[in-house]
Amino acid sequence: MKYALVTGGSRGIGRAVCLKLARMGYHVLINYVSHAEEAEATLRMVHEAGREGEILKFDVSNRQQTTEALEAWMEAHPDAYIEVLVNNAGIRRDNLLVFMPEEDWHRVLDITLSGFYNVTQPLLQPMLVHKFGRIINMASVTGLKGMPGQANYAAAKGGIIAATKSLAQEVARKNVTVNAVAPGFIQTDMLEGLDEAALKKTIPANRFGTPEEVAELVGFLVSKEAGYITGNVISINGGLYT
Ligand code: NAP
């Protein structure tokens, strides 16, 4: 049995990634923090794809919660390890910096950056021991070029890109690859409230992307065939200038 963990697997891009990995033969661990019914829906879809899965509830920004959940899973599966990790959980709390509450600065950084540390650090050792692992970090076009109103999100996504490049160099010899995916505008709950018609005009492809398109890219990066790609950021943005 091959295991994959997707943080924020209950909705949007994370759900599509769970389904892609299930179709690739993985037993999928679906993490979420608050939308239990959405996580259940993802699990049902994994079952419909003919695979097993399970739900792991924890807040990736909470070190203790995350460690307890992962340690409990590892104790229950002493002969298994999680060979694929997709650090996908994320939020946005947009505001011009001049108006940005301290809480919104910290929450976005905590979930993306501390979340990356909290989840990746305990899962790394087993990947190194087994000499195979795939880590995909969900970044953003904003982490590459910045966006007004998103200084917190840009700092978090830029940080995750830098962490990706560093970690990739630490573990490449052990056949563990670490890459970031940088989506542009993808049709999910995260874009709620944005002016789609106006934004589409800024995208050469003249449309938002789909979660499934991002999941296909993640699927390739996870595959054995992508073993020589590491420390990279792959954009998927319909030609949006970066
Ligand atoms: P989404 O539909 O809003 O889903 C966010 C997911 O993250 C949900 O599953 C949510 O769980 C989970 N989550 C949020 N906070 C969490 C926490 N503290 N601990 C564990 N899980 C948590 O967002 P999305 O659009 O699919 O985005 C997924 C990733 O892609 C994010 O990292 C986002 O920054 C990135 N991204 C998205 C876009 C886009 O246009 N949509 C573009 C670039 C990058 P619950 O369901 O329990 O709330």
What is the 192 CA–ligand 1 centroid distance (Å)?
12
Pairing type for strands 3-6 and 27-32 reads parallel
21 pLDDT above the threshold of 90: yes
- Domain range summary for the chain, segments of one domain joined by +: 2-236
The Å distance, Cα 50 to ligand 1 centre, comes to: 25
81 is an active site residue: no
pLDDT digits (tens, 9 = 90+) for 104-163: 999 999 999 999 999 999 999 999 999 999 999 999 999 999 999 999 999 999 999 999
| Contact residues of ligand 1, CB 6 A cut-off | 7-8, 10-14, 31-35, 38, 59-61, 88-91, 111, 138, 140, 183, 185-186, 188-191
Q: Does the global pTM surpass 0.85? A: yes
Angle at 31 (CA atoms; ends 30, 35), nearest 5 degrees: 105
Radius of gyration of the chain (CA): 17
For the stretch 182-238, pLDDT in tens is: 999 999 999 999 999 999 999 999 999 999 999 999 999 999 999 999 999 999 999
Q: What's the pLDDT at 241?
A: 77
List CB contacts of 91: < 8 A, sequence separation 6 or more: 107, 108, 111, 190
Alpha-carbon span 10 to 31, nearest angstrom = 7
Residue 175 — pLDDT band, cuts 50, 70, 90? very high
Q: What is the mean pLDDT of residues 60-76?
A: 98
Query: What pLDDT is stored for residue 64 in this prediction?
Result: 98
Among candidate residues 117, 153, 228, 241, the one labeled active-site is 153
CB-neighbour burial class of residue 166 (10 A; exposed 0-12, middle 13-18, buried 19+):
exposed
Question: Are the C-beta atoms of 144 and 153 separated by less than 8 Å?
Answer: no
What CATH number labels 2-236? 3.40.50.720
pLDDT of 242 strictly over 80:
no
* Percent helix, strand and coil across the chain, each to the nearest 5: 50, 20, 30
Length in residues, the chain: 242
Task: Please tell me the distance between residue 223's alpha carbon and the centre of ligand 1 in angstroms.
Answer: 23
- Mean pLDDT over the full length of the chain: 97
